[in-house]
Chains A and B, each alone.
Chain A
Amino acid sequence: DVKVTQSSRYLVKRTGEKVFLECVQDMDHENMFWYRQDPGLGLRLIYFSYDVKMKEKGDIPEGYSVSREKKERFSLILESASTNQTSMYLCASSPSGTSAKNIQYFGAGTRLSVL
Chain B
Amino acid sequence: GNSVTQMEGPVTLSEEAFLTINCTYTATGYPSLFWYVQYPGEGLQLLLKATKADDKGSNKGFEATYRKETTSFHLEKGSVQVSDSAVYFCAHFLTGRRALTFGSGTRLQVQP
Contact = CB atoms under 8 A, between A and B. Distances in A.
Q: Do the two chains bind?
A: yes
B62 interface: no
A48, A101, A103: most-surrounded residue (chain B CB, <10 A): A103
Interface stretch (A35-43, A60-68, A69-77): A35-43
Interface in B38-65: 41-46, 49, 51
Determine the interface band of chain B, counting residues with CB < 8 A from chain A: 20 to 34
B100 A56 contact: no
Nearest to A31: B98
Contacts of A35: 102
B95 A100 contact: yes
Interface stretch (A12-20, A79-87, A104-112): A104-112
Interface in A9-63: 31, 33, 35, 40-45, 48, 50, 56, 58
Contacts of B4: 42
A108 B104 contact: no
Q: Is the interface of A mostly helix, strand, loop or mixed?
A: strand
Nearest to B43: A106
A104 B102 contact: no
Given A98-B95, A98-B98, A100-B95, A90 B43 contact: yes
B38 to A, nearest CB: 8
Contacts of B46: 103-104
Contacts of B103: 42
B24 interface: no
Contacts of B100: 43, 45, 104
A22 B32 CA distance: 29
Contact of B104 (A33, A40, A90, A101): A40
Interface in B80-112: 89, 93, 95-100, 102-105
Nearest to A49: B98
A91 B36 CA distance: 15
